[in-house]
Amino acid sequence: MSARVLDGKRIRDEILAELRGRVADLAAEQRPPGLAVILVGNDPASEIYVRNKVRACAELGIYSEKLTPRASICTEDLLGIIEGLNQRPEIDGILLQRPLPKQIDTRRTVVAISADKDVDGFHPLNVGNLVEGFPGPRACTPAGILELLKRYGIAIAGRHAVVVGRSDIVGKPMAIMLLHENATVTICHSRTTNLAEECRRADILVAAIGRAAFIGRGHIKPGATVIDVGMNRISDPREVERIYGAGSDKLEQLAQKGSVLLGDVHPLQVAEVAGAYTPAPGGVGPLTIAMLMSNTVAAAERKLLKSPSPVAC
């Protein structure tokens, strides 16, 4: 029996379809939700991500602004831009695209964004709300993963989940969200001993380690659900051939585009062992933007309707 592919694009489309009515209601009663996206510098990958986020806003009827400070901007000037957006009533959400240039104090920018407008779910107050199970914006990628699991009917309660990666953006909030769903959770990272053995205990394995095709058949329990959060770009033909095999069409793609995108999970081996898995690209990525839109709409509802919105996850 072949592994089931968990289509993030399909779930994204479901979420966005559900948001359209809420956006239309807000626009009819008062105004559409508003999102400001700050893109510092000219990082090509970040430019693509921001373009996709702005496009999603346009498709839903959400008002959006893109601000593009110079790459050499100092922390104080960036904080000034953030504070200006905090004061604008028509802006419900502020997203500061990462990574930021090295001269920027990232921690100060995280705290500077008003907790009410923190649609990334990174502000310490919102992290605290997540830990306590209080309403509020949730980190978009793990929130999207939870939506994917639920909408595909994959049981979480009572299952053993292993999260590989401990970042503030994915690993830590993912573990907490799974705990709230009554999973038994193990967090692994670069210094975990016997990593493969720990991973093989997982009914649900979330890979967010940032190493191309690192999680292979030796890490996967037969029949497990594998969620691949990674997005790595490789440009070495030998590496592409090692992963995909000689004669793969990925070598042609490499020749045409100069690189190949793949996740943290070996794309061929996961299909041989897992019961269900997300492809990369096409799995988790689309859900991140969908949950950003969900957080933005919820922020506008909290402000304009003066009533608590459901937690994004």
* Active-site residue list: 53, 97, 120
Are 177 and 313 in contact by the 8 Å Cβ rule? The answer is: yes
Res. 162: pLDDT tops 60: yes
- Element spanning 263, H or E: none
pLDDT band at 311 (very low <50, low <70, confident <90, very high): very low
Q: Rounded mean pLDDT of 72-99? A: 97
| Crossing angle of helices 140-151 and 171-180, rounded to 10° | 40
- In whole angstroms, what is the distance from residue 269 CA to residue 217 CA? 5
pLDDT band at 1 (very low <50, low <70, confident <90, very high): low
Domain ranges of the chain: 31-120, 140-284
Q: What are phi and psi of 187, to 5 degrees?
A: -105, 125
Are 68 and 39 in contact by the 8 Å Cβ rule? The answer is: yes
- In whole angstroms, what is the distance from residue 61 CA to residue 207 CA? 34
Q: Rounded mean pLDDT of 59-85? A: 97
Could you count the other beta carbons within 10 Å of the beta carbon of residue 84?
12
Beta-strand runs (E) in the chain: 4-5, 34-38, 63-67, 93-96, 160-164, 184-188, 204-207, 225-228, 232-234, 260-262, 276-277
Could you count the other beta carbons within 10 Å of the beta carbon of residue 246?
7
Percent of the chain with pLDDT over 70: 97
Res. 63: pLDDT tops 60: yes
CATH architecture of 140-284: 3-Layer(aba) Sandwich (3.40)
Measuring CA to CA, which residue among 182, 217, 172 is closest to residue 199? 217
Res. 308: pLDDT tops 90: no
Please provide the average confidence, as pLDDT, over all residues in the chain.
Answer: 95
pLDDT band at 307 (very low <50, low <70, confident <90, very high): low
Q: Do domains 31-120 and 140-284 have the same CATH topology?
A: yes
Q: Rounded mean pLDDT of 29-36? A: 97
Q: Is 182 left (phi over 0), alpha (psi -120 to 50) or beta?
A: left
Are 250 and 244 in contact by the 8 Å Cβ rule? The answer is: yes
77: which 2 tokens? 């000037």
How confident is the model at residue 131, as a pLDDT?
A: 97
Res. 225: pLDDT tops 60: yes
Q: How far, in whole angstroms, is CA 36 from its chain's centroid?
A: 18
Which residue shows structure tokens 């009917």? Answer: 153
pLDDT per position as a tens digit, 11-27: 999 999 999 999 999 99
Res. 264: pLDDT tops 70: yes
CATH no. for 31-120: 3.40.50.10860
How confident is the model at residue 44, as a pLDDT?
A: 84
One-letter amino acid identity for 253?
Q
Report strand pairing: 260-262 vs 232-234.
antiparallel
